């Protein structure tokens, strides 16, 4: 029946998603007696922490993407397929995918998360998300297209609309994106657009709560705001978004902002496939899993990373949606498979190594277990950790070259509208 | 009237196209008493000689594209606009563009060339061109998508169709592309697709005449064929294409080839805007120009590079469509403007520095004025010359890193389906 996957005498684990969790899980089962089938809609792994640099013209997309086939080179028990899963039939242990049906003995959901617009369709239709490489490239095109359009805008209103950039959400992605836009304004625009009055270019960071980086230390929250303001970003705390029509961002109890570019980083939700019982789904559209990553209500289905909500005493809302959680959960689950201890009562223990965010040149915040620091040393730490965790030597080198180059030249080399994006039709120009 | 371009007291030269010729022309008029308006549909200059490496997963698109605004940083007399010109109104010295009307005192056409399908609509619809970065990225996606699809093809016929790659046209682009596909087959596919029988992957290079690289020396023609055959490419000389329906490539007096991927590099034609008299157009859809680059029948319109046919005694068909001609014509014309000698009888003199083509690792052919050589030294020469002529230090570095990396690892790092391409709808996936 399943001619699209070769037969194997070993039990088959199908893993959906080649993110941090999925690849860690697969790698750790090398040479084990399982047939592992990895499915992803892309043929590459995305290093999500640097998406914002692709979107703001600092890095080429190819430097933060890594071919999945290359990661598993020589891993004989792994089959990779590019496909999108339409539906899970948990009764018959079967996936319905864009390339046909795929049966499984065990299923590991590692589909990650996507932008959460909290049901606000207007905002979803008109703002720019940044959770995948194509989305980051669309955003890059839109930012640059708007700058070009501003030069020839027929009215001052339209011009201002094109030159106001709003980032919604003060988490790490929002802070980093706003910071990168600040650098673009300060170092690139004066050279590239001498015709533009820089005072009319405004960058806003809108956050609903009373602080940025709310999962980090109070000092990091405070410092990141200071850094952003030094870089000319208007940080608006305690500000909630009401609606966005593509031209005007309406705020609750505040003046609206006229802007053609609203970047949405205000929340994520799990990517859950059709076919799961609503009993197994909790807040943030995540699958409820036990301490071994097993999904509630199913005997052979597991979930790891952003899509999983592992409610434990010390994590009553599940773990944070970061790469380290996905990696550690993937490793842990692989170990349970490898040692045939899936039914043990061992509970996953998250080793929180800390968190960090960069705001701009020489400006970052780092919270480790015991130490917290901000500024230039934090910035170098941030760069070092990101370089080291990036997959592949070639990618490390290309990113390193770009960063050194940007540091010396104050430049962002990839400010290219490679395929122009039409927000209305959501199409990309292919010529 | 023209609010989209600021007023200037100097005469306005509008240049259409930021290719090799266009940018050379503009740069040479820095600080001269002209207002120069450069129009391009992209915001970057494309280094066309390396497009085939982007298409075959050897380089990131961003490394061969360079922001036009950056090239002209600090050139106060230049205005750049991203726009497409719909029509030229030579009577009123006016361009109709996607951003509005633009008046000119002088017009310089540097629009370059595009694929020539010689009126064969079926071939145009079903084959892949490679004359721009988006087209090269579409081709990259299609090559990789076809490999993925081959793994799950329901019949052996469909599988073979997906694994037969045909390049039509034995000029430098065709030779280089076929060679790069040969390397992909030899060094990358065995690791990436252990499920595939490599013997079923076939690369064809189809050429109508009796030799490859017909503009180069006899020795280079012969050697390039040998190199390609060593690399497993089926070189078919004296073979003419009749039709292509997307599945079968029909050849005149020969067996057809079943292939889902036909790459078209069999000819180019000039990109001429609407509005020119047919009297000024000649073979290859080029504008007839005199020895000063002035277009026949017009007093203030000039054409340089691929779109120009400068018929001289030693070049009865015009000059070859290479970067050097465009650069030298751009420089020459700029000099005539700068010295106010547009009406002089000085005739452009092309300084032919030679030509070269690379076939693969350690294999290239170089014809200089006096010396001709092939093999590893030619290959290093080719790389050196291309690196040096690439715009921008960052791009040089990134390309260099990629090449050194590929040389050491036998790898091609950017084999990524960044935005999957649908040949039928001609759409790109934006998520």
Secondary structure (DSSP) of B337-401: HHTT-TTS----------EEEEEETTEEEEE-SS-EEEEHHHHHHHHHHHHHHSSSHHHHHHHHH
- Give the strands of the sheet with B254-258, arranged side by side: B241-244, B248-251, B254-258
For residue A64, give the 3-state DSSP assignment.
helix
> How far apart are alpha carbons B269 and B334 in whole angstroms?
24
Q: Is A79 on the interface with B (CB under 8 A)?
A: yes
Q: Sorting pLDDT into bands at 50, 70 and 90, what band is B420? A: confident
Report the first-to-last Cα separation within chain B, whole angstroms: 41
Burial tier of A150 (Cβ tally within 10 Å: 0-12, 13-18, 19+): buried
Residues of chain A with pLDDT under 50: 1-2
Q: How does B173-211 read in b/e, with b if 16+ C-beta sit within 10 Å?
A: bbbbbbbbbbbbbbbbbeebbeebeeeebbbbbbbbeeb
Q: CA torsion angle for A235, A240, A241, A247 (degrees, to 10)?
A: -40
A 338-397 near B (Cβ less than 8 A) = 392-395, 397
Q: Is B3 on the interface with A (CB under 8 A)?
A: yes
- Give the strands of the sheet with A281-282, arranged side by side: A281-282, A286-289, A308-310
For residue B106, give the 3-state DSSP assignment.
strand
Contacts for B384 with CB less than 8 Å, ≥ 6 apart = none
Compute the nearest-CA separation of B392 from chain A (Å). Answer: 9
Q: Is B429 on the interface with A (CB under 8 A)?
A: yes
Count of helices and strands (H, E) across chain A: 12, 27
Contact criterion met (CB below 8 Å) for B226 and B220: no
Q: Which two tokens stand for residue A286?
A: 């995540």
Contact criterion met (CB below 8 Å) for A307 and A286: yes
> How far apart are alpha carbons A66 and A18 in whole angstroms?
10
Q: Specify the pLDDT at position A397.
A: 87
Q: Specify the pLDDT at position A1.
A: 40
Find the farthest-apart pair of alpha carbons in chain B and give their distance in angstroms, rounded.
69
DSSP labels, A229-289? HHTTEEEE-S--EEEE-SSEEEETTEEEEE-SEEEE-S-EEE---BT--GGGEETTTEEEE
Q: Which two tokens stand for residue A400?
A: 């390193």
**More confidently predicted of B421 and B158:** B158
> How far apart are alpha carbons B266 and A162 in whole angstroms?
43
> How far apart are alpha carbons B8 and A276 in whole angstroms?
66
Q: Do A392 and B405 touch (CB under 8 A)?
A: no
- Which residues of chain A are within 8 Å of residue B45 when distances are taken between CB atoms? none
For residue B13, give the 3-state DSSP assignment.
strand
For residue B264, give the 3-state DSSP assignment.
strand
Burial tier of A337 (Cβ tally within 10 Å: 0-12, 13-18, 19+): buried
Q: What is the CA angle B27-B32-B37, rounded to 5?
A: 60
pLDDT tens across B27-58, in order? 999 999 999 999 999 999 999 999 999 999 99
Q: What is the CA angle A400-A406-A409, rounded to 5?
A: 135
Strand locations in A121-183, DSSP E? 164-168
Here the ipTM equals: 0.92
Q: Do B192 and A69 touch (CB under 8 A)?
A: yes
Q: CA torsion angle for A86, A89, A92, A97 (degrees, to 10)?
A: 0
Compute the nearest-CA separation of B80 from chain A (Å). Answer: 9
Q: Sorting pLDDT into bands at 50, 70 and 90, what band is B397? A: confident
For residue A96, give the 3-state DSSP assignment.
strand
Q: Do B134 and A418 touch (CB under 8 A)?
A: yes
Q: Specify the pLDDT at position B1.
A: 39
Percent of chain B whose predicted confidence (pLDDT) is above 90: 87
Domains along the sequence of chain A with CATH = 12-115+268-338 (3.50.50.60), 121-266 (3.50.50.100)
- Of A60, A135, A161, A176, the catalytic one is A176
Question: What DSSP designation does B262 have?
Answer: E
Q: Specify the pLDDT at position A2.
A: 45
Q: What mean pLDDT comes out for the span B119-144?
A: 94
pLDDT tens across B352-384, in order? 999 999 999 899 999 998 899 999 999 999 999
Contact criterion met (CB below 8 Å) for B275 and B286: no
Nearest to A214 by CA among A222, A203, A205, A204: A222
Q: Using DSSP bridges, classify how beta strands A241-244 and A248-251 pair: parallel, antiparallel or unpaired.
A: antiparallel
> Which amino acids of B are annotated catalytic?
176
Name which of A43, A133, A405 is nearest B148 (Cβ-Cβ): A43
> How far apart are alpha carbons A307 and A304 in whole angstroms?
6
Q: Is B81 on the interface with A (CB under 8 A)?
A: yes
Average pLDDT value for chain B:
94
Q: What is the CA angle A206-A210-A211, rounded to 5?
A: 75
Contact criterion met (CB below 8 Å) for B299 and B93: no
pLDDT tens across B63-102, in order? 999 999 999 999 999 999 999 999 999 999 999 999 999 9
Contact criterion met (CB below 8 Å) for B140 and B55: yes
- CA neighbours within 13 Å on the CB side: how many for A426? 11
Q: Is A154 on the interface with B (CB under 8 A)?
A: yes
Closest-approach residue (CA) in chain B for A3 = B152
Q: Is A137 on the interface with B (CB under 8 A)?
A: yes
Active site residue A62: no
> How far apart are alpha carbons A132 and A51 in whole angstroms?
7
């Amino acid at each position: 029946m399943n001619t699209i996957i070769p037969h194997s005498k070993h039990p088959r684990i199908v893993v959906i998603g080649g993110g941090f969790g999925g690849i860690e899980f697969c790698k750790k089962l090398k040479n084990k007696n399982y047939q592992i089938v990895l499915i992803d809609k892309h043929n590459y792994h995305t290093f999500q922490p640097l998406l914002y640099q692709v979107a703001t013209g600092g890095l080429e997309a190819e430097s933060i993407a890594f071919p999945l086939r290359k990661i598993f080179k020589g891993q004989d028990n792994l089959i990779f397929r590019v496909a999108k899963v339409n539906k899970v039939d948990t009764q018959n242990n079967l996936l319905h995918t864009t390339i046909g049906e795929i049966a499984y003995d065990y299923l590991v959901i590692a589909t990650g998360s996507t932008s959460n617009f909290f049901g606000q369709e207007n905002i979803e239709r008109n703002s720019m998300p940044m959770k995948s490489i194509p989305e980051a490239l669309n955003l890059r095109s839109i930012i640059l297209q708007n700058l070009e359009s501003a030069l020839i805008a027929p009215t001052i209103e339209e011009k201002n609309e094109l030159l106001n950039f709003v980032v919604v959400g003060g988490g790490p992605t929002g802070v980093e994106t706003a910071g990168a836009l600040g650098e673009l304004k300060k170092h690139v625009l004066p050279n590239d657009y001498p015709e533009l009055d820089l005072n009319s270019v405004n960058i806003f960071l809108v956050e609903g709560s009373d602080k940025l980086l709310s999962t980090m230390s109070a000092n990091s929250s405070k410092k990141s705001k200071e850094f952003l303001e030094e870089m000319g970003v208007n940080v608006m705390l305690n500000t909630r978004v009401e609606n966005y029509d593509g031209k005007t961002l309406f705020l609750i109890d505040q003046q609206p902002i006229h802007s053609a570019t609203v970047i949405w980083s205000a929340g994520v939700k799990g990517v859950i496939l059709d076919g799961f019982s609503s009993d197994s789904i909790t807040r943030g559209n995540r699958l409820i899993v036990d301490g071994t990553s097993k999904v509630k209500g199913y005997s052979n289905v597991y979930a790891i990373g952003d899509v999983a909500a592992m409610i434990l005493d010390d994590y009553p809302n599940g773990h944070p949606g970061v790469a380290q959680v996905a990696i550690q959960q993937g490793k842990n689950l692989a170990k349970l498979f490898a040692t045939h201890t899936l039914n043990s009562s061992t509970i996953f223990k998250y080793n929180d190594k800390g968190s960090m965010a960069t705001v701009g040149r020489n400006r970052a915040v780092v919270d480790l277990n015991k130490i917290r620091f901000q500024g230039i040393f934090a910035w170098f730490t941030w760069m070092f950790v990101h370089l080291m965790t990036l997959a592949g030597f070639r990618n490390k080198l290309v990113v390193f070259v770009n960063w050194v180059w940007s540091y010396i030249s104050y430049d962002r080399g990839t400010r290219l509208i490679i395929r122009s994006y039409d927000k209305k039709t959501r199409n990309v120009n292919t010529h």
